Amino acid sequence: KLKTIARRADLKSYVERTPQLNRLLRQAASRYITGNFRQDGIEVGRKLVAKGYAISIEYIGENTTDATECEAIVAEMKALIIDLGQAGISARVSFDLSHIGLSLHQELAFSNLMKLAEQVQGTGLELFISMEESSKTDDILSVYKQAVSVYPNVGITLQAHLTRTPQDLASLPSPSRIRIVKGAYQESSDYSISRSPELNHRYLELVESAIRQGQRVSIASHDEVIINEVLERGWLSDSKVEIEMLYGIRPELASRMQNIGHPVRIYLPYGHEWYLYLCHRIAEFPPNLYQAVIDMVGN
C-alpha cells in the first residue's frame, strides 16, 4: 500500500516540485543509490571489485511509455556497457524490460533487448532481466526465452512469492542464469505467498531445484534465515552459485560472507529515478522508513 501511495503521479510530482523535500528524500535515497550518473555506479563498482565482490549495475527506471525515451534509455545502457568494458569491470547489467519498451509493445522490448545483447557480445558482461508485477510475468518470460535462445549471456529473475514460479523455473532452458528473489510487488493472495516461513521454504526449494537443473544461480536475499540455510546445505561450494544483495542493505552481512570466502555480488543502482527505487526499499521493509527519517534529519 505504501508503494502504491508513493507511486501516485501527483505525489511524485509534488516531491519533484518541492526542493526541500526533494533534497531530503534524495539524501535518504543515497543510502541505496550510487549516484545520478553511470560513472557514479562504475566508481563504486570499481572499489567493490577491488575488494573481491562481483557487481550488478542498473540504470534505474521502469514503465517507460514513450518510444523516444526508450531509445534514450537504450543509448544510456549501451554507453554503460562501453564504459564498463573500458574500465575492465566484468559486471552484470540489470534492468526492467518495462524500462526499455515492454509497457508500449512486447516487440519493442524484445528488439531493444537484442540491441543490448548484441552490444555485450564478446565483452564478458551479462545482461540480466528483472521480474516485475505478475501481470507482466508471461511477457517477460516470453521475451527472455526468445533472447536467450540467441544470446546465452542473458539472465532472468524469478520471484519465489508467486505460486506459478516452480513451473516457470521448470520451463527454462538449461543452462540458464537465474536470480531468485522473494518478490517486491504486492500481489493477490490467490496466487502469491506473503513473507512467512512458508515463503522461505518455497524459496529454498526453488534454489535447490535450480541447482539440480545445473543452472547458474544468484541467491538474491538479505534474509539471514535463508543465508544460514544456504551455508548449512553447502550450496555456495558450487561455483555456479552466489549470494547477491542490494547496495546499502545489510552491508555488514555481505562483508561477513565475503570475508569467509563466499562469492557475493552487490547490486548497484544509479540514475535520476531514485524516488521510486527508495519507495521500493521502504515498502519491502517498512522499518526503512525510520532509517530514511534518520538519514534526512541527520543531514
Q: Is 248 left (phi over 0), alpha (psi -120 to 50) or beta?
A: left
145 is in an annotated binding site: no
Inter-axis angle of helices 288-297 and 19-29, nearest 10: 120
> Which CB, 71 or 223, lies closer to ligand FAD?
223
Hey, what's the cell of 100? Answer: 526499455
Q: How far is the CB of 122 from ligand FAD (least distance, A)?
A: 25
Q: How far is the CB of 237 from ligand FAD (least distance, A)?
A: 21
54 is in an annotated binding site: no
160 is in an annotated binding site: no
3-state secondary structure of 110: helix
Q: How far is the CB of 287 from ligand FAD (least distance, A)?
A: 7
**107-144 as b/e: b if 16+ CB within 10 A:** ebbbebbbebbebbeeeebbbbbbbbbbebbebbbebb
Q: Where do contacts with ligand FAD occur on this chain (CB under 6 A)?
A: 130-131, 157, 159, 179, 181-185, 195, 220-223, 244-246, 249-250, 267, 281, 284-285, 288
Q: How far is the CB of 20 from ligand FAD (least distance, A)?
A: 25
155 is in an annotated binding site: no
Any idea which residue has 533472447 for its cell?
Answer: 147
Q: How far is the CB of 100 from ligand FAD (least distance, A)?
A: 14
> Which CB, 194 or 299, lies closer to ligand FAD?
194
Q: How far is the CB of 265 from ligand FAD (least distance, A)?
A: 7
CA–CA dist 287, 283 (Å, integer): 9
159 is in an annotated binding site: yes
> Which CB, 71 or 249, lies closer to ligand FAD?
249
> Which CB, 24 or 58, lies closer to ligand FAD?
58
Closest CA to 5 of 292, 275, 296, 287: 275
> Which CB, 3 or 71, lies closer to ligand FAD?
3
Task: Give the bridge partners for 281, in sequence order.
Answer: none
3-state secondary structure of 298: coil
> Which CB, 185 or 270, lies closer to ligand FAD?
185
> Which CB, 14 or 290, lies closer to ligand FAD?
290
131 is in an annotated binding site: yes
**Please, what's the largest Cα pairwise distance for the chain?**
52
- Return the CA Rg of the chain: 18
245 is in an annotated binding site: no
Q: How far is the CB of 11 from ligand FAD (least distance, A)?
A: 20
Task: Give the bridge partners for 127, in sequence order.
Answer: 93, 154
**What burial class does residue 93 get, using C-beta atoms within 10 Å of its C-beta: 0-12 exposed, 13-18 middle, 19+ buried?**
buried
Any idea which residue has 526499455 for its cell?
Answer: 100
3-state secondary structure of 175: coil
Any idea which residue has 572499489 for its cell?
Answer: 47
* Numbered residues of the known binding site for FAD: 131, 159, 182-184, 221-222
Q: Which residues are annotated as a binding site?
A: 131, 159, 182-184, 221-222
